[in-house]
Structures are given as C-alpha cells and as structure tokens.
Amino acid sequence: MQIIEVTEFWVRSAVIRLRHRQSPLEFVIYPMIHMAEPAFYEAVTARLGKADVVVAEGIRGDGRRRSPLVGALMLSYTALRFNRRMKLVKQAIDYRALGVPVINPDVTVEQFEDGWRKVPLAHRLGVWCILPVVILVRLFGGTQLIWSKSMEVNDLPSPEDEDRIDAMPELEAAFAGTRDQRLLAALYRLHEERGDEPIEVAVVYGAGHVAVIVEGLTTQLGYKARSADWLTVAVL
C-alpha cells in the first residue's frame, strides 16, 4: 500500500480510513509532510474540523528548554520555503481553532533528548554532518531533486530501511520507536474507552509513522483499511 506517491506529475498523500467489524469508531490516518503546497494543508484542516477527536504529532516543550537537534531538523524542512521554485509552505495547522478535542501523545523535549543521548556518538555526528547537505539541497535544488522517488513511503519497509534499522537501532528508537509506542498506546486507549461510540478519530502524523499505525491497529485491535483517497501534496 502506498502512503506517499511520487510521480512525474504530482506528490500525493493517501488518507486511510480504518474500520472494525464490531466497533462503530473509525480511525482516519493523515500521512503528513512538513512542507507542501498551501492547498494540501487547507484540505487536511477542512477535514479535521469534521472529526470528533484529533490525535496530533508534535514534540512537546514548555517553551524554556529547546532541543538543538529538533531545531535543526525543522530548519531542514522550512528551508524549502526560501526555494522560490518550490512554492511550498510550512505545516502550521491551528489545532485550537478546529473546535475539536486534540490529543498529543508525542514525547517531550526532555524525553527526546534522553533518547538522542543513547545513540552512539558516531551516528549522532553522522546526522549532524548530513543535515547541512540536506538544507543546501532543499534551498537550491530543483523539483526532480527534491521530490525524488526516495520521498515515496509504503507500508512495507524497503531493504535499505531494514538494513538501517538493524545497523542503528538506537537511532530508530530516538526518532520513531518510542514515539510510535506512545502513539499506539493512545490509539488503543481510545478504542478501549470509546470503541462503542460512532466517532471519527483523525490521526495527523508524519508519513514515516503511518505504516506502524496501520499495522498496530490491524494486528492488535482488528481494524482494517477499508478505503483510501488521495490529497495532492504538490503538483510537479
């Protein structure tokens, strides 16, 4: 199953609806990309306003302590808004304006930093060396370079992804593993507490987390992906 599709014409995100035979609750998964054309975020925001609960990604902080790495990662995305050829904007959905209850099960800045410190020093240095290159590519690169096939996301990991996870398990845990566990725990809790209600739970998380979400809801709770439709991230 494709989650993010990249063709010569467009980049699209698959909005996935999961249903359960014995529960009226539905999960709707929105695979997000941190930079996109404004119309993409407008379409997602309009749909979220019709949900009953929103589960949103976002490393939480109290405003006093900041993570240098998180700041650098965000800069690597937001650099795209200075690339005049791309005409992209940063993801900035105002969840408070939706009028819908929002749950954020993500890690705090402190928890993220604790996980980052467990990553071997060589791997941490490697990330810091790669980030400047990524920023330069996103600042000056063209459409085909930035929206390459490497941006595609599928429900099954590629052999390269599996090799990376096996080689750097601490890095995978810091960026995804712990955060995925917290997200799934929140979704399981919603099913347990509100599974008898005919509500729609919208899950707004980065595309890289979506395969784990679908697998967890399928294998642990018995939900199935019953339908999907596409939202255009960018026209190429």
Q: For the chain, what is the mean pLDDT? A: 89
Give the model's confidence band at 151: pLDDT under 50 very low, under 70 low, under 90 confident, else very high.
confident
Lowest mean pLDDT among 121-135, 179-193, 208-222: 121-135
Q: Give the residue with greater pLDDT, 111 vs 217.
A: 217
Top-ranked range on mean pLDDT: pick from 118-122, 139-143, 154-158, 180-184 = 180-184
Query: How much of the chain, in percent, has pLDDT values that exceed 70?
Result: 93
Q: Give the residue with greater pLDDT, 25 vs 142.
A: 25
Give the model's confidence band at 221: pLDDT under 50 very low, under 70 low, under 90 confident, else very high.
very high
Check pLDDT > 90 for residue 25: yes
Check pLDDT > 80 for residue 62: no
* Confidence at residue 157, expressed as pLDDT on a 0 to 100 scale: 63
Task: Give the residue carrying structure tokens 């979506």.
Answer: 210
Taking residues 53-79, report their average pLDDT: 80
Q: Is the pTM of this model over 0.85?
A: yes
Give the model's confidence band at 20: pLDDT under 50 very low, under 70 low, under 90 confident, else very high.
very high
Domain count, the chain: 1
Residues of the domain holding 26 = 2-235
Angle (deg, nearest 10), helices 68-78 and 121-140: 20
